[in-house]
Amino acid sequence: MKRVIVTGATGFVGANLARHLLQAGYEVHLLVRPAYQSWRIESIQGDVHLHEVALTDAPVLSSTVSKIQPEWIFHLAAHGAYSWQNDLEQIVQTNFIGTLNFVEACLQSGFEAFVNTGSSSEYGFKDHAPAENEYLEPNSYYAVTKASATLFCRYTAQARGVHLPTLRLYSVYGPYEDPGRLMPTLIRHGLQGTWPPLVNPETARDYVYVDDVCAAYVLAATRPNQELGAVYNVGTGLQTPLHEVVSVAQRVLDIAAQPQWNSMPGRQWDTGVWVADNRKIVQELGWQPQYNLETGLRRMVQWMQDNTDAV
């Protein structure tokens, strides 16, 4: 049974990964920030070891990691991924300084695997699916800090000879997703037979179900013979424009009403091209997404119906 640390477990993907690891039988330690929001982890608090520590507090962080002595580390803590998280200092402190502190604390303790979390936004706007070694053109301060953390982790892995890969996540959806995001909003409205305000129907994303993402984390930690500091795109490799998402939701939720396109202004990150080149993770880690958009959305609908108190 591996002893595992997860940061960011009060967030959407981290909360799912913590459950995934618990179900596999691992000893799971969660590092949570002071004044954390607990709603995503309330049902598992009795099954995990909870440690309240700020990633910016290097001495306490180092002491905490030393006491845990983890074998695997999954670093998902981040700030700035949502439009309302726009405090630049907090973005820098969490995503970059926090990552530096955490990696250093884990290096002092020692580990088998440290999996860092990157973002597809590190690439910026491209007219194609970018490969992992492509030139980075971050499209926000958040993306700048994530790209910086990825480069730091890659260099550290090579300089120190440690297993420290990064997963660049595309548009993850599933249980415990923030209620203000697209999929939960579509489902809530759809269950009432209505549509939320929608942007341009050609706005595109590569939507990947959270269970597939959790599987990618474990593969990144365990699959042997990876290059030091490897970076992997985690996406389906299929681009889905918003009008196709709406068509799937219409079928899954049996919505008779017609969507009102451009009833919501576009966001600065909206684009008609956003898709993963996932050949590297498929070939090197043997990862394959198990859920298409419809099967993933159906599972998410069922979860939201079964967990009305959590949404």
| Per-residue pLDDT reduced to its tens digit, 35-71 | 899 999 999 999 999 999 999 999 999 999 999 999 9
Q: What is the percentage of the chain residues whose pLDDT exceeds 70? A: 98
Q: Which residues pair with 233 in a beta bridge?
A: 168
Choice between 127 and 80, residue whose per-residue pLDDT is larger: 127
Q: Is the model's pLDDT at 190 over the cut of 70?
A: yes
Q: Is the model's pLDDT at 268 over the cut of 70?
A: no
pLDDT at residue number 81: 83
Q: Is the model's pLDDT at 267 over the cut of 80?
A: no
pLDDT at residue number 56: 96
Choice between 272 and 197, residue whose per-residue pLDDT is larger: 197
Q: Is the model's pLDDT at 147 over the cut of 90?
A: yes
CATH topology of domain 173-206+237-275+290-310: UDP-galactose 4-epimerase; domain 1 (3.90.25)
Question: Residue for token digits 């599933």?
Answer: 174
pLDDT at residue number 271: 82
Burial (CB < 10 A; 0-12, 13-18, 19+), residue 267, is exposed
- CATH 3.40.50.720 for domain 3-171+209-234, yes or no, is yes
pTM: 0.96
Q: What's the whole-number average pLDDT of the chain?
A: 95
> With contact defined as beta carbons under 8 Å apart, do 79 and 95 qualify?
yes
Amino acid identity of 212?
D
Q: How confident is the model at residue 112 (pLDDT cuts 50, 70, 90)?
A: very high
Residue-range domain boundaries for the chain: 3-171+209-234, 173-206+237-275+290-310
Q: What angle do CA 302, 305, 307 make, to 5 degrees?
A: 105
pLDDT at residue number 310: 65
Residues 6+ apart with CB under 8 A from 237: 129, 206, 275, 276, 277, 278, 279
pLDDT at residue number 269: 67
Q: Alpha-carbon distance 51 to 69, whole Å?
A: 13
